[in-house]
Structure 1
Amino acid sequence: MPSRRSMTPADLRRVVVVEELDLSSDGRLAVVARRSIQGDRLLGHLFALRLDGRSCRGRRRSPARPSSGADRRYAT
């Protein structure tokens, strides 16, 4: 069995976190919020996914903020 190594800062930069998942009231759409690190920036990504198997409606990206996100603006 290979020996395990300690995590490094580079390992932490590759971690992607799913922050939230919500469904539309009609159950046709799921919105997933995920957080990742790019360079020295923490980014938030929103994915709107159709649950009928058709293609994704799009992705929006914004610098992630520790606040509630009420004032967050997204750029495509």
Structure 2
Amino acid sequence: MTFKENIEKALEEVRPLLQMDGGDIELVEANEQTKEVKVKFLGMCSGCPMTQFTLENNVEAKIKEQVPEVKSVTL
């Protein structure tokens, strides 16, 4: 699988958690050279005050667990 496909797979595992609260997530960019990932929260997650917490503790944690070479995950 490609770098981007591995990121998408990790996001698929986080997605149900976000969808429970009426939100979702989209991969904006997966830069294989810099190992940086950019995502966008959708729906109820886009304006939620817990966005940063969710990004760091759920999204970034899951991505780095499955794709350890990732250096950063940002919005």
> Is TM > 0.5 for Structure 1 vs Structure 2?
no
Larger radius of gyration: 1
* TM-score interval, smaller chain: 0.3 to 0.5
- TM-score, normalising length: structure 1: 0.34
Where relative contact order (Cα < 8 A, 6+ residues apart) is larger, the structure is 2
- TM-score, normalising length: structure 2: 0.34
